[in-house]
Amino acid sequence: MREGAAATWEPPPGNVGASLAMTRLRTRAASRGISKVELLACLLAVAGGVWIGASYVGLNLNQAAYDALDETELLTRIPEDWRPPNPECPDGDCPSEEEIRSGQVQELRSQLDGLRSEVDLITGGVEPLPQGESTLTDELRAARDTTLPYWSALREVVTEVTALQARVAPLREADQYARGLSVRRRAMEYGLEAVRLLDPEGVDPQAVEAAGRVAEWFEHGAETIGSAVEIRSRQQVGGRSVTGVELWRSLEVDLAKRTELVRRKTRETAGYLTSRYFVEFPLLDL
């Protein structure tokens, strides 16, 4: 170049120009980042690695994904076509919400029926179950054949005593009241002796225990009423007049509590015997 001449650009030699062009291309590629194809390839590689690792340790990714979405309540926000398949029904035959609700209602009804049956057994209100008789062993049949007549005889004694007491209970006049108490006491004594004469051989122990409880109730009732009759004639107790009527009213509360206890216990026994022998054992008329 001559001195003083204007400076002009001259392309570099061929090899040097090509090198500069490639350098510019590389710089541009580096500045724009990886391509979508490269990103997709990376994601596929990562997913493949996770899948292989999960298979190696026995982890069900579909189950984990479904549970995570379901527990966070995000599953309902995802379009149905995009949701992972339900592991419990992978073929898509899962019941609808209506069907699930219907099944739950049916299950609750079954529970209610079971509770009603249990209450019937406890209260003695269960109906005879002849269909279960075929499951009884010979030993249970023999026990049933002796227990049912025993229970019926016990019930008859209780019914007779209760009827006698009910007839004289309304008597409130002084002379009639004394006679009424005497009748009630003797009725209790009759019941006690009648129960003691029942033959317990071969009878279910629960029925025998119930009869013993009834006998104790008869005995206590006779003693309580006898005390009221005995003290009736006393004129001064603690500085004031006390009649048999007043005394009986105080003793009647205790007798009523004992009666309720025996009634509840014998009701439970009747329910137990009914469910055990598949034949109705009626309640005692206490």
Confidence check: pLDDT of 178 > 80: no
Residues 64 and 185 in one domain: no
Residues 39 and 174 in one domain: no
Token representation of residue 203 = 């009878």
Residues 182 and 267 in one domain: yes
Q: Which stretch of 41-50, 128-137, 175-184 has the lowest confidence by average pLDDT?
A: 41-50
The C-alpha atoms of residue 205 and residue 146 are separated, in whole angstroms, by 11
Which pLDDT tens digit goes with each residue over 63-101?
555 565 555 555 566 666 656 666 666 666 667 778 887
Confidence check: pLDDT of 168 > 60: yes
Residues 61 and 171 in one domain: no
**Domain end call among 43, 75, 92:** 92
Looking up tokens 């392309």 gives 11
Would residue 186 count as lying in a domain? yes
Residues 139 and 238 in one domain: yes
Would residue 139 count as lying in a domain? yes
Would residue 87 count as lying in a domain? yes
pTM to 2 decimal places:
0.52
- Which band of pLDDT confidence, cut at 50, 70 and 90, is reported for residue 17? very low
Residues 82 and 129 in one domain: no
The C-alpha atoms of residue 252 and residue 233 are separated, in whole angstroms, by 18
Would residue 78 count as lying in a domain? yes
Would residue 153 count as lying in a domain? yes
Report, as an integer, the average pLDDT of 181-205: 93
Which pLDDT tens digit goes with each residue over 205-263?
999 999 999 999 999 999 988 887 676 655 444 545 555 556 667 778 888 899 999 99
Report, as an integer, the average pLDDT of 52-59: 49
- Residue 88 has a pLDDT of 67
Q: How many domains are contained in the chain?
A: 2
Print burial letters for 182-207: b (CB count within 10 Å at least 16), e (below 16): ebbbebbbbbbebbeebeeeebbebb
Residues 134 and 268 in one domain: yes
The answer to whether residues 170 and 204 touch, using CB atoms and an 8 Å cutoff, is no
Which pLDDT tens digit goes with each residue over 39-53?
556 555 544 454 455
CA within 13 Å, CB half, 92:
4
Residues 267 and 151 in one domain: yes
Domain ranges, residue 150: 125-277
Would residue 15 count as lying in a domain? no
The answer to whether residues 62 and 87 touch, using CB atoms and an 8 Å cutoff, is yes
Residues 192 and 85 in one domain: no
CA within 13 Å, CB half, 16:
4
Query: Could you please report the per-residue DSSP string of 203-259?
Result: --HHHHHHHHHHHHHHHHHHHHHHHHHHHTT---BTTB---HHHHHHHHHHHHHHHH
Would residue 137 count as lying in a domain? yes
Residues 193 and 273 in one domain: yes
Residues 130 and 66 in one domain: no
